[in-house]
Amino acid sequence: MAHSYTPGLTVTDYTVVRRRRVLPLPGTVLVKAGDQVRSDQAVARAELPGKVYPINLANQLSIAPDEIKEYLVKKEGDLVQKDEILAENKPLIKWFKTEIRSPITGTIESLSTVTGQVLLREPPRILDLLAYIDGTVVEMIPRQGVVVEATCSLVQGIFGIGGEVWGEVVVAVRTPDEPLSPTHVKGEMAGKIVVGGSFLSAETMAKAKEVGVAGIVVGGIHDKDLRALLGYDLGVAITGTEQVGFTLILTEGFGTIPMESKTFKLLSAHVGQKASISGATQIRAGVIRPEIIIPRAVKPAGAVTQPQREGIRLGDTVRIIRDPLFGRIGEVSALPSDLTKIPTESDVRVLEVMFPDGSRAVIPRTNIEVIEGA
C-alpha cells in the first residue's frame, strides 16, 4: 500500500493553526473577522433552551385530557413562578379542591388535549463560547461561530482527558526520562501547565489536584491510575469532558515512557509563556488528538511551516509504537518493498530501524510513527 504508515503526531516550533469555534446550536457571533481575540474571550453566544418539565394535568386532576383547558389558570405561553397555581378544579365543596402548582419558574410551552400534558420550560441558559486560543478571527460562520487562527508552537499528544484550559508553561523535571513525582509539584504551579517527564503516578495526580494545576503534560501513566483518577474504566477513547481537577495530556502512551526529547525541548523553550491545551481525544470516526498550543507573536528565524508528508523515507526518525520495542526511537535504515514474514507468521510490509547504539530491528510499518521534522 502506498500509504502504509502511521503519520506521526505533530511537534513543531512554528505553525499556523485554525480552530473552528462553533456553538452547539445557532446563536450570535460576538466578534468579527480580523479581530484579535484572547483565549478567555467569548466569541459567540447562544441561549440554551431551558429544561422541560412535563406535568400530566389530566391524571393529577382526574379529568379527561380534552378537558384540561377548562381547569387551567394559566394559558400557553404564560410565564409562571415556582409554586404558582397552574390549574385547579372547582368542586362544590372547597375541601375537595385540588391545585396543581408549577414545580419551576419558566413558561408554559405547550398543552396537549390528547395526552392531558402541560410542558413547562425553564428560562434559557446563556452559553458563552470562548476563543480557546489567542489569535485572530479569520472566518465568520453566521449564527454559529468563528474560525480563530494563531501562529504558534504546536505539540500533539497521543491521549488526554479534560477540557480546554490555558496557563503558563512550567517544566517540573530536568530530563525527559525523569518521572514527575509529588515533590516536583509546588504551590506556585497553581493554574499553570506543568510539564513532566516519563511518568505520572497516582500520588503526583493527587498532589496536582491539591495544588490546583491547570494541566499536566507527561510521557505516560499506568492504566490503573487512570481508572482511579476517573473513577471508572475508560472503554472507548472519546474524552474531553472529564472533570478530574486538571487537564491531562500523554505524549507517548501507557506505561513509563520518556517524553520524546524533541517534545521536551520544545516545551522547555517556552517556559513562562502562555499555552492553551485541550485533552479532548477521539480515536474513532474523525481523529482528534490532545494538543498544546503556544501562540507566538513572531516567526522564529528560519522557521518554515512543515508541508504535509506523503510517505516514509530512509533516514526518517521514527518511534516504535508497539511491543516488544515500544517507545524506542531510531532511524529508518531500510525500506524493503516486499512483504516479510514476522514472528506471528503474518506477511506484512516492514522497515528496518537502526537505533542510536547501532543495533537494528525489523518492524512492521504500521508499528512505527514518524517523528515529524526531527
Partner 1 sequence: MVPAESVKIDRPLNVIVATDCGSTTTKAILIEKIGDEFRQTYRGEAPTTVEAPFEDVTRGVLNAIAEIEELSGRKILDGDKIITPCRDAKTGVDIYISTSSAGGGLQMMVTGVVQNMTGESAQRAALGAGAIVIDVLASNDGRLPHEKIERIRSMRPDMILMSGGTDGGAVTHVVEMAEYVAAAEPRPRFGVTYKLPLIYAGNTVAQPQVKKILGEKTALEVTENIRPVLERENPAPARHKIHDLFLEHVMQQAPGYKKLIEMAGAPIMPTPAAVGLIMETIARREHLNLIGVDIGGATTDVFSVFEGVFNRTVSANLGMSYSISNVLVEAGLANIMRWVPFTIDEQTLRNRIKNKMIRPTTIPQTLDELQIEHAISREALRLALIHHKSLATALKGVQQERTISDVFEQQTSGKTLIDMLKLDLIVGSGGILSHAPRRIQSMLMMVDAYEPLGFTMLSVDSIFMMPHLGVLSTIDEKAATDVFVRDCMVYLGTCVAPIGQGKDGERCADYEIAFPDGKTVKDQLKFGELRLFLIELTRKATITLQPAKQVNLGAGPGTPVTREVQGGVVGLLLDGRGRPLQLPADQPSRIAALTKWFSAVGLYPTASE
> Which residues are near partner 1 by CB under 8 A?
1-3, 6, 22-26, 49, 51-54, 65, 109-110, 112, 114-115, 117, 119, 121, 143-144, 158-159, 222-224, 226, 233-237, 253-255, 281, 283-287, 308, 321-324, 326, 342-346, 348, 363-364, 366-367, 369
61 DSSP assignment: H
Q: Which three cell numbers stand for residue 266?
A: 520544545
**What's the closest the beta carbon of residue 348 comes to partner 1, in angstroms?**
7
**What's the closest the beta carbon of residue 130 comes to partner 1, in angstroms?**
18
User: Please, what's the b/e burial string for 22-49 (b: 16 or more CB within 10 A of its CB; e: otherwise)?
Assistant: ebeeebebbbeeebebebebebbebeee
**What's the closest the beta carbon of residue 328 comes to partner 1, in angstroms?**
13
Question: Is residue 74 a contact partner of residue 55, using CB atoms and an 8 Å limit?
Answer: no
Which CB atom, from 169 or from 257, has the smaller least distance to partner 1?
A: 257
**What's the closest the beta carbon of residue 343 comes to partner 1, in angstroms?**
5
Which CB atom, from 91 or from 124, has the smaller least distance to partner 1?
A: 124
**Cβ neighbour number for residue 51 with a 10 Å cutoff:** 12
Which CB atom, from 68 or from 158, has the smaller least distance to partner 1?
A: 158
**What's the closest the beta carbon of residue 349 comes to partner 1, in angstroms?**
11
Q: Which residues pair with 36 in a beta bridge?
A: 136
How would you classify the pairing of strands 215-221 and 125-130?
unpaired
Which CB atom, from 190 or from 348, has the smaller least distance to partner 1?
A: 348
Cα separation, 298 vs 198, in Å, equals 31
Cα separation, 163 vs 281, in Å, equals 10
**What's the closest the beta carbon of residue 230 comes to partner 1, in angstroms?**
12
Which CB atom, from 268 or from 355, has the smaller least distance to partner 1?
A: 355
Which CB atom, from 118 or from 170, has the smaller least distance to partner 1?
A: 118
Cα separation, 368 vs 5, in Å, equals 7
Cα separation, 257 vs 239, in Å, equals 22
